[in-house]
A and B are shown apart, each in its own frame.
Chain A
Amino acid sequence: MAFDYDRYIRGGKLPHIWCPGCTYGIVFKSLLRAVEALKIPKDDIAMVSGIGCASRLPGYVDFNTLHTTHGRALPFATGLKMARPDKHVMVVSGDGDATAIGGNHFIHACRRNIDITVLVFNNFIYGMTGGQYSPTTPSGHIATTMPYGNIDPSFNIPELAKGAGATWVGRGTAYHAAALDKLIIGAIEHKGLSVLEIINACPTTHGRRNKFRTPTDMLLWMKDTALPLSAFEKLPPEKTAGKFPTGVLFKKDAPEYCETYYGMVERVRKPAEGRA
């Protein structure tokens, strides 16, 4: 039986704002399939976003949705989660939103290991404002504010998340949609801060300025350059150039922030027992 997306999409809110050829719609559907697989009641999910193309996603889904200021989705989400630690809080962000203007919030949310699922839609560009370079724009690529080719070194989002203390880090792509469902499920199921980087394509403001003649070319690029982590690790370093690993890249157990906080609350409310 075909998957009933309408169960999760708000009536009358489509069409979405994304351009033809944009891969966000693929990820959007994957996300809904993941939520369905986990059987989480819609009332128990808050989806929070900042500013950018990806940040418009929450408006289309029938959860508690909060579209905030640029880069600040994570601290808003932290407020929601601390107030209601029993609920699921997800953040949808972009490469600029999460790692440029929101970079400070990103690393500190990772450090706290608060139980929030962070989906970073990395399309390597500021799409909504028309194609300016972001912290993940590849070296040499043309952007409206790097007309002679990008000279900025770029962030590796999973490495950044891992280094900052995130306890579940993964990477998927819009091309590998079936695998993406499983990664999103894993990210949501993980207790702690999970970061899933999702490689996306912006044909309108990135691809067509950088020798991707069609949106399909960008998807084929994902197909050719993404390797499952196990395969990636087997390759000698000279053969990994231009490739990137996908899947669950890092996972560890560590105390979750809300649990630690409310554990402290119970301890200080009963000082005598706490000392025993």
Chain B
Amino acid sequence: MGKIKLLQGNEACAEGALYAGCTFFAGYPITPSTEVAEYLARRLPLIRGVFLQMEDEIAAMAAVIGGSLAGQKALTATSGPGFSLKQENIGFAALTEIPCVIVNVMRGGPSTGVPTGPGQSDIMQCRWGTHGDHPSICLTPAYVQEIFSETVRAFNLSEKYRTPVIIAFDEIVGHMRERIEIPDKGVLPIVNRQKPDCPPKEYLPYDDKAGDVPPMANFFEGYRYHVTGLNHGPDGFPVNASPRIHTDELRLMRKVEANRKEIIRFEEYQTGDADVVVFAYGVSGRSGKTAVKMARAEGIKAGLFRPLTIWPFPEEEVSAIASRVKAIVVPELSLGQIIFEVDRCAKGRTRVEGIYRVDGDPITPAQILEKIKEVR
């Protein structure tokens, strides 16, 4: 039996990081994510971990990558504008294949927007925020317990695939307090990066011969090698020649694409016989579930598909739903972003209807129920 606690989503995120073995945090104060930093500022020194409040968001992301390269599991947390500032270095981590976890507690935008209200309008930035082609894993928990477990999973995926992993939830779930159980050590699996077992002289940090995820040596452990944000060869040194750049970029993408089955997680609720399915994540997924229950109580065949992994997008699952329902309803706290992905997978086989809201309040179950009735 684990420990029962009453925690905020942001605090549960910090607890999940500690459970996963995180010993390094660097951040910068920003609403509504600051509690992640505050919690870890208290806890990390107690386990000889590193807590750094850096001079800005960019520096925090850089320090996290440095900490990870020196062998620690590293986390940063931010929101809206800070997430924008981190993007260049997130791309650096993707190309150099240095594991790290980035929490984005989403608020309204653009610019300062609504710092104290929820938003879901960074969801495309989670996928495409940094420049260039790059793999992307983004998890979208909706409950405090789920923030804990998905944070653990984020570290595991990051270590396993040597890639930055983003956890995106909204201000409401971040600040909501719920009862959670922190499992005993050993209950949830913990993944650590695979280290090389060859002699240092033979080590090729970006060699794909043994698979798409090459073993990673930490700095100062005898494997002296070069890490660069330039496209590089198997030995890590810059290459600007065909076809290496193209094939290596494909390998980066394949790390995620070929492992969709393992990475993609979702909740399906009453979708089996549904005429209308609500596709929603985060706080909108919570409202969606209530709306489905209300609809069922009135005899309406409604269901919910709630992705816990938004990137890579659950294409097959959404496509299968689109082939059998009359309509998919997509509530989101933006003026329409993730609906384009749903629409792309539906391929015109079903009606796809959005419910949008950006005034700092959540979409209510009643709003969703009304839309379900309209489209069924």
Instruction: Spell out A's residues near B (CB within 8 Å).
Output: 10, 13, 42-44, 46, 48, 58-59, 62-69, 72, 74-84, 87, 104-105, 108, 261-262, 264-265, 268-269
Contact = CB atoms under 8 A, between A and B. Distances in A.
Contacts of A43: 220-222, 224
Contact of B52 (A66, A78, A265): A78
Nearest to A262: B48
A36 to B, nearest CB: 16
Contacts of B55: 75, 104-105, 108
Contact of B227 (A62, A65, A75, A78): A65
Given A46-B220, A83-B70, A83-B72, A58 B226 contact: yes
A76 B228 contact: no
A105 B59 CA distance: 7
A64 B224 contact: yes
B45 A79 contact: no
B227 A66 contact: yes
Given A76-B63, A83-B70, A84-B70, A268 B92 contact: no
A78 B224 contact: no
Nearest to A111: B55
Given A66-B69, A83-B72, A264 B45 contact: yes
B190 interface: no
B66 A75 contact: yes
19 contacts: A44-B220, A62-B224, A64-B224, A65-B225, A66-B66, A66-B226, A67-B228, A75-B26, A76-B62, A78-B63, A79-B26, A79-B64, A79-B68, A80-B66, A80-B67, A83-B24, A83-B67, A84-B219, A268-B45
A74 B62 CA distance: 9
B226 A75 contact: no
The 6 nearest A-B residue pairs measured at CB: A79-B66, A83-B70, A75-B62, A79-B63, A75-B59, A108-B55
A84 B50 CA distance: 10
Question: By CB atoms of chain A within 10 A, which of B45, B62, B66, B92 has the most?
Answer: B66
Contact of B66 (A76, A104, A269): A76
Interface in B52-89: 52, 54-56, 58-60, 62-72, 74, 88-89
B39 interface: no
Contacts of B228: 59, 66-67
Contacts of B72: 83
Given A82-B52, A105-B55, 10 more contacts: A43-B224, A66-B69, A68-B92, A69-B229, A72-B89, A76-B63, A79-B52, A79-B63, A79-B69, A83-B66
A48 B327 CA distance: 54
A182 B62 CA distance: 31
A20 B353 CA distance: 64
B224 A75 contact: no
B203 interface: no
B63 A82 contact: yes
Q: Is the interface of B mostly helix, strand, loop or mixed?
A: mixed
Nearest to B68: A79
A82 B219 contact: no
B225 A64 contact: yes
Contact of A75 (B48, B63, B230): B63
Given A43-B220, A64-B225, A105-B55, A78 B66 contact: yes
B237 interface: yes
A77 to B, nearest CB: 6
Interface residues of B, number: 41
A19 B62 CA distance: 30
Interface of B: 24, 26, 45-46, 48, 50, 52, 54-56, 58-60, 62-72, 74, 88-89, 92, 219-222, 224-230, 237-238
Given A79-B24, A80-B219, A72 B230 contact: no
A83 B58 contact: no
Contacts of A13: 237
Contacts of B26: 75, 79
Contacts of B50: 82-83, 261
Given A13-B237, A78-B63, A80-B66, A64 B58 contact: no
A273 to B, nearest CB: 14
A61 B153 CA distance: 37
A153 B72 CA distance: 42
A105 B28 CA distance: 13
A77 B220 contact: no
A58 B230 CA distance: 13
B89 A79 contact: no
Contacts of A81: 66
Contacts of B69: 66, 79-80
Contact of B65 (A44, A59, A79): A79
A72 B241 CA distance: 27
B238 A77 contact: no
B125 to A, nearest CB: 18
Contacts of A264: 45
B59 A72 contact: yes
A46 B227 CA distance: 11
A80 B70 contact: yes
Nearest to A65: B226
B70 A269 contact: no
A82 B224 contact: no
A256 B42 CA distance: 21
A81 B45 CA distance: 16
Contacts of A269: 45-46, 48
Contacts of A82: 24, 50, 52, 63, 66-67
B238 A59 contact: yes
A69 B92 contact: yes
Given A104-B55, A269-B45, A269-B48, A42 B62 contact: no
A10 B72 CA distance: 27
